[in-house]
Amino acid sequence: MDLISFQPTDEETAFITLAKTLAEEVLRPAARSSEEERQAAREWTIKANELGFAALELPERWGGMEMTLISQAQILEALSNGDLALVQGLPGPGDAASFMRLAPENQAFAAYRRTGEGGQWPTVAFLNACDPGVSQSINITGASFENGYVIKGISRPVKMAAFAAYLLLAAPGPDGKTRLFWLDKEQTRWRAIPGDYRLGLLASGWARVQFDDLTVTKDAVVAEGRDADRLLSRALARLRVLEAAKEVGLMTAALSYATEYTATRRAFGQELAKFQGVSFQMADMAVAVQAARLLVWRAASALDREEPEAPGLSLDALSRAHRSLRLVTDSAVQLLGGHGYVQDHPVEKWMRDAAAQIALNGGEQDLLLRRGEQLLTEERETVS
């Protein structure tokens, strides 16, 4: 059986081409200024919405594109090649879109759906407080939804929370069961606490989310218990692949830039001695990018075709994307030497964006751990 299945429609192909153009003409030129202003330029956010980039993952019956993951992977790779921070800072449903795609008739999403179908898709932030690998302290107390569950605590930084009107929250309840909540900021008054961030992805609207004894009742519940586990699990598999695709875009930018820089200096006869060791650093980077891309395509294909191995493959794709991303962005800065330090060259920003990306997306070790546990558990089931 074929490992990768990609049969793009004309519309998908057009989107991919458009993404490449936008990356070059809008995103890359806006990278530095949006970092300074800590947010995306208006023009890009409006354009992105108009062109439909916010709706790629949304259900068709909502008017979204409900595009295959493998096509979205290529679009996101192309856009992120322009600037990852701007991609992470795209207004719209964001990560919540995958949940909406998997549960399009869910009542909790109904109001949002009506708003979006009407005009623009408001910005949603997604906070996964069920993730053991992430340090935070969100606490839910109370005994039932009738009396109201109370949410209290402050989260780690969440992307786009600074600009979001809605929050999708996954958190373990007092009974240990998973719950997914849909929280409209106007009604539930969760707060976005901005911070003075320095590392990277500065244009992506990061803010910590604070819950001051926020009460939630049944209306706010998207799913709970096993339904919530299943929905969360399936959505996370999709989100990992999408993140990995973005990382492939960023690493590709760094690789291209470093290759061109190195080749140009060679062409002009500069520092010839240095290049003896460079050849295979370049090759190492190239293979790392290739492998990461193929793993993304493989995982995307598997999810599109609902193969049973798909969740495991999504862990592979993201963990390897993290590793390749770190290798490539670190190497690019080193290869440029002193030029890697200055702003004239984008590699130092890419390194910072990469570091932020990996820190805020689970870390490589954690993904490998999960994957290993899964492999050993599957095996044990086979044996017994």
- Please, what is the minimum distance in Å from the beta carbon of residue 32 to its own copies? 9
Residue number, 111 or 342, with CB nearest to its own copies: 342
For residue 252 the two structure tokens come to 């590709």
Rounded to 5 degrees, φ, ψ at 275 are -70, -10
Q: In the set 69, 251, 320, 353, which binds its own copies (CB under 8 A)? A: 320
Local structure of 192: helix, strand or coil: strand
| CA 68, 74, 77, 83 torsion-angle sign | negative
Q: In the set 282, 305, 307, 346, which binds its own copies (CB under 8 A)? A: 282
CA dihedral 225, 230, 231, 232 (to 10 degrees): 80
Give exposure, 11-28, as e/b (b: 16+ Cβ within 10 Å): ebeebbebbbebbeebbb
Q: In the set 42, 105, 213, 273, which binds its own copies (CB under 8 A)? A: 273
Stretch that binds its own copies, among 54-62, 101-109, 169-177, 285-293 (CB under 8 A): 285-293
Q: In the set 89, 265, 300, 303, which binds its own copies (CB under 8 A)? A: 265
Q: If you search the block for the tokens 């969360």, which residue do you land on? A: 232
User: What is the distance between the alpha carbons of residues 18 and 25, in angstroms, rounded to a whole number?
Assistant: 10
14 binds its own copies (CB under 8 A): no
CA 83 to chain centre: 13
240 binds its own copies (CB under 8 A): no
Q: In the set 15, 251, 340, 353, which binds its own copies (CB under 8 A)? A: 340
Encoded one letter per residue, x for contact with its own copies by CB under 8 A and - for no contact, window 198-237 reads: xx------x-x-----------------------------
Residue 69 CB partners (closer than 8 Å, separation 6+): 238, 241, 242, 300, 301, 303, 304
Stretch that binds its own copies, among 77-85, 98-106, 178-186, 190-198 (CB under 8 A): 190-198
- Please, what is the minimum distance in Å from the beta carbon of residue 296 to its own copies? 10
Q: Are 285 and 255 in contact (CB under 8 A)?
A: yes
Which residues from 36-95 bind its own copies, rule CB under 8 A?
Answer: none
Q: Are 284 and 323 in contact (CB under 8 A)?
A: no
133 binds its own copies (CB under 8 A): yes
Rounded to 5 degrees, φ, ψ at 93 are -70, -15
135 binds its own copies (CB under 8 A): yes
319 binds its own copies (CB under 8 A): yes
Stretch that binds its own copies, among 83-91, 139-147, 225-233, 314-322 (CB under 8 A): 314-322
Which residues from 136-155 bind its own copies, rule CB under 8 A?
Answer: 136-137, 155
316 binds its own copies (CB under 8 A): yes
